[in-house]
Structure 1
Amino acid sequence: MAAPVSAPSSGAAPASVPIPQKPAAPVRPDFELAGPFIQGGVALGLAPSDALSLALDGRPVDIAADGRFLIGFGRDATASAELVARRADGSTIRRSLTVAPRAWRIENLNRLARQSRPSVEFERLRAPELAEINAARALVSDSQGWRQRFTWPATGRISGLFGSQRIYRGEPGAYHSGVDVARVTGTPFFAPADGVVILATNRPFTLEGYLLMIDHGMGLNSAFLHLSRIDVKPGDVVRQGQALGAIGATGRATGPHLHWSMKWRDERIDPLLLAGPMPQAAD
């Protein structure tokens, strides 16, 4: 017969249970980048693990807590750019970027002269409007909309392309700063990504009409012009797909449409590159 097994004494030490260790985050010795690097475009990236700061052509770039960042290239960006990360030990990591050019739609109007200088009255009205716009763009939010795949705020015929420009008797006019979507007045439009309202005008501006601006975080923002109605207010947090107001023809507009423009810091960005091809408009 087997010998009885005695119970452990009350003074015996309990068996130790191993504590699972959290796996160490993978070390990134270099940048991880996802383009495209193209005029009017934005690119996402991951900074080196020990990067303390980041700059694009000498201009500071924010780094999120998880190491992700966003950079943009303006309509007239040069063919090359340099991304520099400064590490904890004082050394730097540099990456040269090749920025692809684009063929912009240029219209030569040799029989028309460029519009004359704005009147004193226009400039008087315009100054406080520009001050409001610049103050709004200076606001910083913690929105994570910049991480999302952007959607079109309205569907319809694209009646104006980003970057297009008219040349009046050899003198270039300002290029078109956004994408125009032609729809009738009163058509609703929606948030292309999460964001925070940084400007919702209570009066039509001289050029933009009723103007709404949304900050998507990391220096990326959207502006919607010529609106007939705005349904949100400054400080509101909006979610992708949320109704924001209605399309109109206020301000300097030849007909009802939604003008959607975007900026990353001081660089103008082509919304079409973020939203992709225009989907079929709903009836």
Structure 2
Amino acid sequence: MKWMGVFLGLMLALGTARADDRTQLDGNFTQGGLVIGKTLPGTTIQFDGRQVRVSKNGDFIIGFHRDDPTAMALEIRYPDGSAETRPLSIVIRDYQIQRIDGLPPKKVTPPESLLKRIRAEAAKVRETRKIDRDTTWFLEGFIWPAKGRISGVYGSQRVLNGQPKQPHYGIDIAAPKGTPVLAPASGIVTLAEPDLYYSGGTILLDHGHGLASGFLHLDKVEVAVGQFVKKGERLGTVGSTGRSTGAHLDWRVNWFDKRIDASLLVPPMDAATN
């Protein structure tokens, strides 16, 4: 009966391989990375305490924050009741320190009289980041929303007027005031504000499944909340509003409350064609 044990072992191994193949992952397994997954429709997935939306076609996404740990996992349950835990190994990154001087003191340490406004604006932004729309525009891929010199990168520790502050979560693209800002992927506008205290003219664009782009320091906001914008269509123009020392676009990407490195979604600036 030895052959029977070998046969059963082979069948078990093949079954495990098939189960693994039912969920495929592609993307950047690094802090700030985004991963696009494909699984069986009807599968449920848990990641980092959140139930992940799975589309009717089995598409889903997960993202990693700037400081996420090296070991994470997906908890996957398939429609037939079988389950697996998929371990994920996340690459740890080193981040730059960026010093910015010459900012107005009230933009670094705002006066007490402005704190109510700042908190209200921050709460409004946080609410938009909870949106979990069932659209999958992120599958289109991304283009650069503007072209120019990269003047700030994701994850860098900001030191403003000599004071250590929160890390920078966007990618800064230095460009002349009035340069068009384009939608990097299709989406619905969830925030369109001409003058937030820190970020000035600000747009948030929802790409589906909790993934959203933010465009900060705009001179002009040319879209409205609820508007659908196709990939490559105009959103507004580059400016230097809010806490800024010169004309540039601060492009940010969030997967819910996890900050994604936008530069990982596009080719290098010199190789881009948009």
Q: TM-score range by the shorter chain?
A: 0.7 to 0.9
CA offsets per residue over residues 92-145 of structure 1, 9 Å max, x none? 211101001112113589xxxxx9854311212212212221222233434322
Matched, 1:81 2:45: no
Number of positions where the alignment pairs a residue of Structure 1 with one of Structure 2: 248
- Cα distance in 2, alignment partners of residues 191 and 248 from structure 1: 16
For residues 240-255 of structure 1, the aligned pairs below 5 Å read: 240-255=231-246
Question: What is the aligned partner in structure 2 of residue 19 from structure 1?
Answer: none
1:95: which partner in 2?
86
1:144 equivalent to 2:110? Answer: no
Give the distance between the partners of 2:136 and 2:48, measured in 1 at CA.
Answer: 24
Contact 2:42 2:78 in 1 (8 A): yes
Q: What's the CA shift for 1:166?
A: 3.9
Which residue is 2:201 aligned to?
Answer: 210
Letter in structure 1 aligned against 2:213? S
- Which of 138, 149, 154 is the aligned partner of 2:146? 154
Question: Is 1:182 matched with 2:178?
Answer: no
Distance change (3 Å), C-alpha of 1:281 and 1:264: closer
**Cα offset, 1:34, TM superposition:** 1.2
The yes-or-no answer on 1:272 pairing with 2:234 is no
In structure 1, C-alpha distance between the alignment counterparts of 2:163 and 2:251, rounded to whole Å: 26
Match of 1:127 in 2: 119
Check whether the contact 2:26–2:36 (CA below 8 A) recurs between aligned residues.
yes
SS in 2 for 1:255: coil
Q: What is the root-mean-square deviation in Å for CA atoms of aligned residues?
A: 2.5
TM-score by length of 2: 0.83
CA contact (8 A) 1:155 1:281 kept: no
Q: Which amino acid aligns with 1:230?
A: V
Alpha-carbon distance in structure 1 between the residues aligned to 2:135 and 2:42: 22
Give the whole-Å Cα distance in 2 for the aligned partners of 1:186 and 1:171.
Answer: 31
Q: Are the aligned partners of 1:166 and 1:175 in contact in 2 as well (CA < 8 Å)? A: yes
1:281–1:229 distance in 2 versus 1, CA, 3 Å? farther
TM-aligned CA distance change 1:138 to 1:104, over 3 Å: same
Distance 1:278 1:253 in 2: 22
Contact residue 129 and residue 254 of structure 2 kept, 8 A: no
What's the TM-score, normalizing by structure 1? 0.80
Residue of structure 1 equivalent to 2:157? 165
Q: Is the 8 A contact 2:41 2:54 kept in 1?
A: no
Structure 1 unaligned blocks of 5 or more: 1-27, 110-114
Give, in angstroms, the shift of residue 35 of structure 1.
2.6
The match for 2:7 is: none
CA distance in 1, matches of 2:159, 2:173: 23
1:27-38 alignment, distance < 5 Å: 29-30=19-20, 31-38=23-30
SS at match of 1:29: helix
Worse overlay, 226-235 or 99-108: 99-108
Structure with the larger helix share: 2
Separation in 2, partners of 1:165, 1:255: 19
| Aligned mates of 1:116, 1:193 — CA distance in 2 | 32
Matched with 1:17 is: none
Q: After superposition, what is the alpha-carbon deviation per residue over 1:195-254, rounded to whole angstroms, capped at 9, x for unaligned?
A: 0000001x4011010110000001100000000101110111111100111000111100
The 3-state SS of whatever aligns with 2:19 is: coil
Residue 280 of structure 1 and its aligned partner are, at CA, apart by: 6.6
- Provide the C-alpha distance between the structure 2 equivalents of 1:90 and 1:171, rounded to a whole number of angstroms: 53
What's the offset of the Cα at 1:149?
1.6
Counterpart check, 1:223 vs 2:209: no
